[in-house]
Amino acid sequence: MHVSWLNQIETYFSIMHCKVLTPNDFTDLWDVAELLEHCERCYESIAKPFEWKFTRADLKAQIAGMLIRDA
């Protein structure tokens, strides 16, 4: 599956909403900001790089196919 960066950021916000911001029982925005920063630091400590499977050759082939189709 290939998604745009917009879909990826939507996925990130969805996860943060479900796992961090629910239930919405914060007393003020500073509490929200503090919790989001804490979660971001925790994630950064365990995050690993993605193993991309879509190569440059795949990209060239896809673009070539699009150009042929649009011609």
**56 close to 4: Cβ distance less than 8 angstroms:** no
3-class SS at 42?
A: helix
**14 close to 25: Cβ distance less than 8 angstroms:** no
- Residue 5 confidence (pLDDT): 66
Q: Which domain holds residue 36?
A: 5-70
The residues near 20 (Cβ < 8 Å, ≥ 6 apart) are 35, 36, 39
**For 5-28, where are the alpha helices, taking DSSP H only?**
5-19
- Residue 47 confidence (pLDDT): 86
Q: Report how many domains make up the chain.
A: 1
Tens-binned pLDDT, residue by residue, of the chain (71 aa): 455 667 778 888 898 999 899 999 999 999 999 999 999 999 899 988 878 788 899 999 999 999 988 76
- Residue 50 confidence (pLDDT): 75
